A and B are shown apart, each in its own frame.
Chain A
Amino acid sequence: MNLDVLIASAVDGLLIGFVYGVAAMGLTLIFGVMDVINLAHGPLIAIGMFGVYEIFTYVGMNPYLALIIVAVVGLAVGVLVYFVAVHRVIDAPPLSSLLSTFSVNMMIIGVGTAILTTSAYNVDFSLPSLDTGPITVTGTRLAAALIAVGVTALLYAFLYRTRSGKYIRAVANNRQAAELMGIPSTRILALAFGIGTMLAMTAGGLIATILPINILAGGTYELKSFVIVVLGGLGNPLGALVGGLILGLIEGLVPVFMKTTWVPVLEFGLFILILLVMPQGLFGRKES
């Protein structure tokens, strides 16, 4: 066993783990605020991927600048999806919102496949690698991780330092009480869905700068997000980041010891184990 290979694999995995964390934060934020499991999460990630791809390829803009556009558009897309598909079932039994977000999923995948087919695309962009003796870190991977950390910090600053962010937490905590205090809960729910979508699309955009993409690829990351969210505790964004790192680490290290095809087996094995042993997740609170 070569220690250098091990370290290099761990670092690679951790770096992409930050990006997984951002994707999972989008899923967990929406669930935490409105108890909706967003089954359109994967396709929204895919829209983020292709957003960056299209802007970079056809406009020639730097992918990181394109990412800002994708994030802003993501907010708008999320608000739109909320009002079209989620708001009318917000107080209905959980199955309704599962079905309605799944419909959004099917629509995006349908239109996306018609336009883009399911073949792979590649954002032809690279940054100089960082060479530190035994390990070489790909520039785009490092940049993606740093941006992911920045996005997490921004999310926390927003939720804990701004009035709108506190409204989101208040509505998540007790929607009826929030309304009694004059907080327009519908607008706040739409904003939360918008931010969740923004996080999903941003994660997608970051993935596009590292790996090949296709319209169905979002599904893979949606499944990863579910594992991460369960790992980190439902409704806990920081838990999602840590969960993302754990998953990234598994993905980095497992191929050193066994075939890559074992990665999802281990990931979902972990998923079931966590559900059995500590269903509140590593950092989740017990339901009161």
Chain B
Amino acid sequence: MRRSRTLRTVLQFWRSSLEAESEYQLNLVLECLAVSGNLAGSLFVLSLLFSGQSSLGGWDWNEALIVLGLYTLLDGFTSCLLQPNLSKIVNHVQQGTLDFVLLKPVDSQLWLSLRCFSPWGIPALLAGVVLVVLGLQRSGTVVHGDGLVLGAVLLVSGAAILYSLWFSLAALSIWFVKVWNATEVLRYTLVAGRYPVSAYPPALRLVFVFVLPVAFMTTVPSQALLGQGSWPWAAGSVLMACGSLLASRWFWRFALRHYTSASS
């Protein structure tokens, strides 16, 4: 009963934000241009990295395409949900409108995370899927059912880790007020996920697994899709996802205890 009410609320949120966003139809053209430009640029840089050699950190060109595709997919997810919602938390704190959110009969983390749905991330989502399919097809991998399921599960846990990172950083604004760029930092450093994690020097690899877990966002799901998934990595990814979701929940409660409202 309660769950269905939440679901209905979220669907209503998304309907209203879609209506609001459809005011700006030119955005669709701009967004498609941005996605294709970014994709062309990424492919270009990847081809430069591959010039004169056949592998990048043990990944061949087609396999690297899958990683890039998953990166694009998660980038689309960011534009659809994370960016439009979580970047507003800072404004709410700065202007004191967070009070109104807290008074609503909906869970505040849910409201802040799912209030808006921006359709402008959809081109990137599509482009990501196309790239992944293309990479799989060209590398001649036959994707088995279990590889697909594992890949999908790992991608979802990658997205969950991404969300928790974004949300926790945005929640920092309760203390620092003006950190709307904290999420920008994340966007810029996550660019590292464009390349398989083994392409980096060992020290950076450790960072990308334990500190800024981009490895779990693109590399690990790609390996699963290619049928090279390993249990330790899969378990680690799912554990990390659950852990970071719980941590973000806990962190938000903790932050709210320190919230003093803007004008008081």
Answer yes or no: are A and B bound together in one complex.
no
* B interface residues (Cβ-Cβ under 8 A, vs A): none
* A interface residues (Cβ-Cβ under 8 A, vs B): none
